[in-house]
Amino acid sequence: MIRHTVLFRLSHPAGSDAEAAFLRDARILGSIPGVEHFEQLRVLTGDDFDYSFSMEFADQAAYSGYNEHPDHVAFVQGRWVPEVAAFLEIDYAPLP
């Protein structure tokens, strides 16, 4: 199992329609084949990031399929790159 997380801050003002639209449109990521347990989370500690996305994949093949999926590629190019001001991506695997 791989847990993929990304913490981020948007370039939009908090509470704005643009912020709400980004979060709404990001839900498409949860419908990509191989994605399990997709969550959108608000970050409660620290000052660097406001939100996090978390999802799980059964294995590396599922994770690679997600990264290469047209919906993921389109979201990253069309929304993520122009609208995210800062981010930190962390992937985890369970200890044996």
Query: How far are the Cα atoms of 19, 22, 93, 94 from residue 10, in angstroms, in the given order?
Result: 7, 9, 27, 30
Torsion sign across C-alpha atoms 4, 10, 16, 21: negative
State pTM to two decimals. Answer: 0.91
Domains in the chain, CATH or no CATH each: 1-43+68-83 (3.30.70.100)
* Nearest Cα to Cα of residue 87 among 26, 32, 33: 26
d(CA 61, CA 75): 20
Mean pLDDT across the chain, nearest whole number? 97
pLDDT at position 46 is 85
> pLDDT, tens digit, for every residue of 41-86?
999 998 899 999 999 999 999 999 999 999 999 999 999 999 999 9
pLDDT at position 47 is 86
